[in-house]
Every structure is written in C-alpha cells, then in structure tokens.
Copies of this chain bind each other. A is one copy, B any other.
Amino acid sequence: MNRLKKSEAAYIAGFLDADGSIYVQLKPNKTYRFGFQVAPQIVFFQSQKELTHLGTMREMIGGGHLRIRKDGVVEYIIGDIETMRALLKAVKPYLILKKPQADLMIKILDHKAKVKGREEFLLLAGLVDKFKNLNYSKNRKNTLLEVVNRLKSQ
C-alpha cells in the first residue's frame, strides 16, 4: 500500500463512513483446516458512472481491485490482509461511524495471523461473531455456535 498523507487518510475515512463497508465472513470451506474460511474485506461502493473515481481511489491507496456488479454498482474491494491492516491503521484516527469496526477488524487480522490450534480458531470465530453484531447483520449464518458444532463432529 502507498504511504498516505494525513488528508488522504481523512478523505478515505469520510468516504468509507459514507459509502463503504468493513466486514468479515466465515465461509464454510472444506479445503480449510477448520472447515471455514475467514474472509475479511474493505469495500467502497459507487454507481457505475463513478467507476473512474474508484479507480482514482485505488491509485491513491495502492492495492485492491474493482468489480462491476450486475446491478451496475461498482465495488472497489480490498481483501489482502496486509493492505487492509495498513489502510485501517491509517484511517482509524479519522473514522467516526465505522471506528468500532476498524478497531475490531484490526484485532481479527492480528489474531488470524496467529491461529495455530482449534482454541485459537474458536476465539477468532468469536471475534467474527462480535463483528457481525457491530454491523447489525440480520443474516447471521455461520456463527461461533456452528463452528463449534462442526468442530465437534470432526
């Protein structure tokens, strides 16, 4: 990721608070050691006519990729762990609305890097649960409970 000026970090914080999303999913995936993939993402949204602008933001940040959805919304997606961590740390002092998400996501990324055993993975799944609560997600599939059940049956 590029080294951001303070004003760039504050700009990105405002953009993220207005029309961005910080989130993490637990996706069932048998190729992963504990049966679930932990997939964190930072996404910026715009309508397709502002595609160029998300390109400009991508150049400013230096990482991630653009995706045009079928409904015409363009997403600028950052899923790379190191870029996410660096970006969150840079914008955190300026975030208002999504500051709790940024704090918790940094914790999740730090923890994710250290997972060795089952216990640590359960702790990680617990943090992901906490994250879902922050985002008021109504669609709470793959909670800690399900991970526990899955691991029990292995």
Distance (whole angstroms) from the CB of A53 to the closest CB of chain B = 5
Interface of A is mostly: helix
A46 near B: Cβ within 8 Å?
Answer: yes
A23 near B: Cβ within 8 Å?
Answer: no
A96 near B: Cβ within 8 Å?
Answer: yes
A97 near B: Cβ within 8 Å?
Answer: yes
In which size bucket is the chain A interface? Answer: 20 to 34
Complex A-B: 6 CB contacts under 8 Å: A6-B7, A6-B10, A7-B94, A14-B16, A14-B17, A18-B19
A20 near B: Cβ within 8 Å?
Answer: yes
A13 near B: Cβ within 8 Å?
Answer: yes
- Of B14, B53, B56, the residue contacting A11 (CB under 8 A) is B14
